Structure 1
Amino acid sequence: MTATDDQTVIHHTRQWLEKAVIGLNLCPFAKAPYVKDQVRIYISHAKHLDGFLEDLDRELQLLADTPATEIETTLLVHPTLFGDFLLFNDITAIADTAVTDLGLEGVLQIAPFHPDFQFDNTETDAISNYTNRSPYPTLHLIRESSIAKAAAAFPDAADIFERNIALLEKMGHEGWEKLAIPRCPFPIDKASK
């Protein structure tokens, strides 16, 4: 991928954040760090899983070592390696282990987003899956302290997921399509292992 491609990935990711995550208020905690330019978007160019996990380790450590006033949260994006959602889901479990291995359990956690995200026991095209659909396979690295602050500021934080699903069900697929959130224009490897 070229620097131009990286700019496309960052632009698409920002559009998704602005139109869906912040625009629909899917995450009420996202707007403040975004407008303060404290959301790091890192594009991984790893050719294989091992390289991606090294990128993950570096980004976890960077986030842990950097004050929240500089980087509140990180989006680790790989635009071409994890086209198969089930494989990506397996990678998420490995990523959670990396948090523990780096001694960052209770400090950081990871939330997965993917163009074909699918919750257990849902149909592929269920609109509820779109709460976690992003233009590219993405791991959101989150500070536990930020989650605690947000939960204190939003006492009904546990209800956000249900509210999001209700909102998307009301919008339907047609409403989601009107947001015109970009989808990955690059070939994604559906068989990476």
Structure 2
Amino acid sequence: MVDHQRRDRITAEVDRWLNAVVLGLNLCPFARKPVDGGQVRVSVSTARGAEALLSDLLSELQHLDSQPPATTETTLLVIPDYLPDFLDFNQFLDLAEALLEQYGYAGVYQLATFHPHYQFAGTDAGDAENLTNRAPYPILHLLREASIEGALAGHPDPEGIPAANIRRVEALTPQQIRALFPYLDPAYCPPSR
């Protein structure tokens, strides 16, 4: 069970990451508007197993379904007590995607993912580009497909966003990395390019 004080601390850590990393480094050029508009819901899951987490995920999808985007544009489902291993987290995503299919949410909502040990395929754990998806906790980010399509249509270079993000994190000094990502292993330092 996540008590109120712990939930508030976890939410504050996620808010700091969202503001310092996602907005501060402009990793998502579409995030500023919903954050500034108070349209980002941060929900802390108490799950310690797959069944409970799937139940929480379904509840958050239903919550988004019941709210107009002007009220809740997107949800960050934070998982502090389950899936600390990135490979386990990645395997769970198959179950999460199956749940979206089962309940008719595929094509309506999309999952983006963040994890303290996030690692893109084909990279080494210490590669700087992994920082773009590293967060203080495992997170399932529920996005509205229609909003994504609208935002991408209005962006001058949507295909260039990942490369720009990689350049931003590669330019960080070790001190900046420690300040922005205090939850990483203290010995972590991506290789110089």
TM-score exceeds 0.5:
yes
Say whether 1:121 aligns with 2:122.
yes
TM superposition shift of 1:64: 2.1
Shift in alpha-carbon separation, 1:128–1:172, aligned structure 2, 3 A: farther
**TM-score scaled by structure 1?**
0.90
- Report the Cα distance in structure 2 between the residues aligned to 1:69 and 1:22, rounded to whole angstroms: 20
Unmatched tracts of structure 2, length 5 or more: 185-193
- Report the Cα distance in structure 2 between the residues aligned to 1:173 and 1:123, rounded to whole angstroms: 17
TM superposition shift of 1:113: 0.3
Shift in alpha-carbon separation, 1:81–1:155, aligned structure 2, 3 A: same
- Runs of 4+ aligned structure 1 residues displaced above 4 Å come to none
Say whether 1:10 aligns with 2:35.
no
- Report the Cα distance in structure 2 between the residues aligned to 1:178 and 1:42, rounded to whole angstroms: 25
Unmatched tracts of structure 1, length 5 or more: 185-193
Q: In the alignment, which residue of structure 1 is the partner of 2:85?
A: 84
Write out per-residue CA displacement over residues 122-161 of structure 1, whole angstroms, 9 at most, x where no aligned residue: 1111110010000000000000011111112212112101
Write out per-residue CA displacement over residues 37-66 of structure 1, whole angstroms, 9 at most, x where no aligned residue: 100000010232101100001111211231
- Report the Cα distance in structure 2 between the residues aligned to 1:35 and 1:130, rounded to whole angstroms: 23
Q: In the alignment, which residue of structure 2 is the partner of 1:175?
A: 176
Could you tell which deviates more after superposition, 152-161 or 31-40? Answer: 152-161
Write out per-residue CA displacement over residues 80-100 of structure 1, whole angstroms, 9 at most, x where no aligned residue: 111111000111222112111
Matches within 5 A, 1:27-176: 27-176=28-177
- Report the Cα distance in structure 1 between the residues aligned to 2:96 and 2:108, rounded to whole angstroms: 14
CA contact (8 A) 2:47 2:81 kept: no
Could you tell which deviates more after superposition, 81-90 or 59-68? Answer: 59-68
**TM-score scaled by structure 2?**
0.90
Q: In the alignment, which residue of structure 2 is the partner of 1:189?
A: none
CA contact (8 A) 2:119 2:130 kept: yes
TM superposition shift of 1:182: 4.3
Shift in alpha-carbon separation, 1:97–1:155, aligned structure 2, 3 A: farther
Q: In the alignment, which residue of structure 1 is the partner of 2:20?
A: 19
Q: SS of 1:171's equivalent?
A: coil
CA contact (8 A) 1:75 1:138 kept: yes
RMSD (Å) for aligned C-alpha atoms: 1.4
Q: How many residues align?
A: 183
Write out per-residue CA displacement over residues 10-59 of structure 1, whole angstroms, 9 at most, x where no aligned residue: 00000000000001000010111011110000001023210110000111
- Report the Cα distance in structure 1 between the residues aligned to 2:129 and 2:174, rounded to whole angstroms: 10
